[in-house]
Amino acid sequence: MKINGVKGMNDILPAQVGRWQEIERVARDVFALHGYREVRTPVVEPYALYARGVGEATDIVNKEMYVFEDKGEEKLALRPEGTAGTVRAFIEHGAYVEGPQKWFYVGPMFRRERPQKGRYRQFHQLGVEAFGIAEPAIDVEQIAMVAELFRRLSVTASLQVNSVGDAACRPAYLEELRAWLRAHGGALCSDCRERTERNPLRVLDCKVPTCQPVLAEAPGLLERLCDGCRTHFDAVRQGLEDLGVPYRVNPRLVRGLDYYVRTAYEFTSDALGSQSAVVGGGRYDGLVETLGGPPTPGIGFGMGEERLALILEAAGRPVAENRPEVFLISADDVGRREVLRRAAALRRAGIACDLDARGGKLARQFKQAERVGARFAIVLGAAEAASGQAKLKDMATREETPVVLADLAGRLRPAAGA
Ligand code: ATP
Ligand code: MG
């Protein structure tokens, strides 16, 4: 019986995985350059962590999360995002006693959404969290870090920033907004009307075309920020300008999660169609305390790896593949032992090589050399073993050059990182 994978959960096959590896390599480099250290947390956490940390009024917890009882013992959830688990670990291990911390993570997230381009049920996020710094300087450094990551990947994405206020200015605004939304409910979609009561800020983010012109007239939070939020936001904008990071202020930009305050930001790409967000980030100063830690400010982002891969693909960028430098072909029984021995020595010297472990006809082995994209091939048999010489064949030009076997490693290019 043939069993297929779960809908919306994708295999990343060897021919494609080079894209993921490139993204992760560049991201790890950039994160390290900025002082972020990796943390690995479980993909399963207590349901309560997300109910509390993400918020029961959010779509993520409400509709999208995979929840299960662990043999009747505890209600658990597959992680839908990385911040709550990272904060849980930060608190559980008392990392706050050491002062500010910059952490990053890479891994799969799970949301039961309708699968479509750029939206899957298992997807991967690269994310960072900076703990213990309330000052806008960290917001600026973190946003500029994303810009640098995109620069290194030669990807263009546009940055939007906003301030979603804090406990001082948001509650009064939410009441004003809710009253306005109720008064205009007739012109809004049913999702908007429902969210008016549950999560009014999220209404501003509605993508339904008929809602957008209506919502454009809604009262804006930016004009109602308290002094603290205003000063913070101005400093973030000034910092981005100082660093030459282009941005646009989008007063409708909100994060879907309850715990965000002040800075909210997003990077989007035209290459993605309607799922245009590739990075969503923001400040969550109350979250650590909400989850039982000491009051600790924080700011972080989550970046969708699949969406980044789609951008690279749309730009026509080739998938980097590891190709063998040389393919060792055996001519006879002596050759069959020889290729294994030589391959081991070459690999020890850091040279990527391959061979056809089936042995057999030369033509079939050459075909295999071509298929795996080897740069050179070399035939080894009793004659070559006796003379210590062979011919190195360039697979692209078909040109053959004599080579002394003892010098073979020196004639070949070591693999990257070897
Ligand atoms: P969207 O508005 O597209 O649903 P979101 O606000 O739910 O995004 P976040 O929770 O901020 O997204 O997650 C950060 C990033 O993770 C997104 O910008 C996106 O790149 C990626 N992402 C989120 N959900 C998915 C998904 N179901 N499939 C693939 N990538 C996703
Ligand atoms: Mg979503």
Residue 274: pLDDT band by 50, 70, 90 thresholds? confident
| Best residue among 12, 160, 195, 303 to mutate for probing ligand 1, ranked by most atoms within 8 Å of CB | 303
pLDDT at residue 225 above 70? yes
Place of tokens 């965000």: 260
Specify the pLDDT at position 59. 86
CATH fold label, 14-169+221-314: BirA Bifunctional Protein; domain 2 (3.30.930)
Question: How far apart are alpha carbons 94 and 123 in whole angstroms?
Answer: 30
Tokens standing for residue 159: 């940055």
Specify the pLDDT at position 378. 98
| Best residue among 20, 54, 61, 119 to mutate for probing ligand 1, ranked by most atoms within 8 Å of CB | 119
State pLDDT tens for residues 285-339. Answer: 999 999 999 999 999 999 999 999 999 999 999 998 889 999 999 999 999 999 9
Closest of 297, 217, 283, 214 to residue 255, by C-alpha:
283
| Percentage of the chain modeled with pLDDT above 90 | 86
Rounded to the nearest angstrom, the distance between the alpha carbon of 60 and the centre of ligand 2 is 7
Q: Which atom of ligand 1 is nearest to the CA of 277?
A: 18
Is any atom of ligand 1 closer than 6 Å to the C-beta of 391? no
Rounded to the nearest angstrom, the distance between the alpha carbon of 275 and the centre of ligand 1 is 8
* Host H or E run for residue 173: helix 170-183
Return the ligand number nearest the Cα of 109.
1
Question: How far apart are alpha carbons 310 and 19 in whole angstroms?
Answer: 10
The angle subtended at Cα 40 by Cα 94 and Cα 297, nearest 5°, is 45
pLDDT at residue 257 above 70? no
Q: Which atom of ligand 1 is nearest to the CA of 127?
A: 14
Rounded to the nearest angstrom, the distance between the alpha carbon of 326 and the centre of ligand 2 is 46
Residue ranges of the alpha helices (H) in 199-304?
A: 200-203, 211-215, 227-242, 287-290
Nearest CA, atom 6, ligand 1 = 256
| Best residue among 112, 252, 275 to mutate for probing ligand 1, ranked by most atoms within 8 Å of CB | 275
Question: How far apart are alpha carbons 321 and 157 in whole angstroms?
Answer: 25
SS3 198: helix
pLDDT at residue 255 above 90? no
Over residues 216-232, the mean pLDDT reads 94
Is any atom of ligand 1 closer than 6 Å to the C-beta of 261? no
Q: pTM here?
A: 0.92
State pLDDT tens for residues 84-107. Answer: 999 999 999 999 999 999 999 999
Is any atom of ligand 1 closer than 6 Å to the C-beta of 120? yes
Over residues 277-281, the mean pLDDT reads 96
Nearest CA, atom 16, ligand 1 = 304
Query: The domain 326-416: what is its CATH number?
Result: 3.40.50.800
CB 49 within 8 A of CB 86: no
Rounded to the nearest angstrom, the distance between the alpha carbon of 82 and the centre of ligand 2 is 14
Closest of 230, 225, 218 to residue 178, by C-alpha:
218
State pLDDT tens for residues 146-204. Answer: 999 999 999 999 999 999 999 999 999 999 999 999 999 899 999 899 889 888 888 98
Rounded to the nearest angstrom, the distance between the alpha carbon of 80 and the centre of ligand 2 is 10
Q: What single string gives the DSSP state of each residue in 93-141?
A: TTGGGG--EEEEEEEEEE-----BTTB-SEEEEEEEEEES--SHHHHHH
Is any atom of ligand 1 closer than 6 Å to the C-beta of 279? yes
Residue 353: pLDDT band by 50, 70, 90 thresholds? very high
Is any atom of ligand 1 closer than 6 Å to the C-beta of 21? no
Residue 137: pLDDT band by 50, 70, 90 thresholds? very high
pLDDT at residue 219 above 80? yes
Q: What letter represents residue 345's amino acid?
A: A
pLDDT at residue 79 above 90? yes
Return the ligand number nearest the Cα of 80.
1
Is any atom of ligand 1 closer than 6 Å to the C-beta of 157? no
Specify the pLDDT at position 58. 83
Closest of 190, 171, 146 to residue 303, by C-alpha:
146
Domain boundaries defined on the chain: 14-169+221-314, 326-416
State pLDDT tens for residues 51-65. Answer: 999 988 788 998 999
SS3 161: strand
CB 124 within 8 A of CB 98: no
Closest of 172, 161, 158 to residue 136, by C-alpha:
161
Rounded to the nearest angstrom, the distance between the alpha carbon of 304 and the centre of ligand 1 is 6
Q: Choose the most confident range, by mean pLDDT, from 13-17, 31-35, 256-260.
A: 31-35
Torsion angle defined by CA atoms of residues 60, 303, 253 and 58, in that order, rounded to the nearest 10 degrees: 10
Specify the pLDDT at position 201. 87
CB 395 within 8 A of CB 378: no
Specify the pLDDT at position 82. 97
Q: Which of 63-67, 75-79, 190-194, 402-406 has the lowest mean pLDDT?
A: 190-194
Specify the pLDDT at position 10. 97
Question: How far apart are alpha carbons 37 and 27 in whole angstroms?
Answer: 12
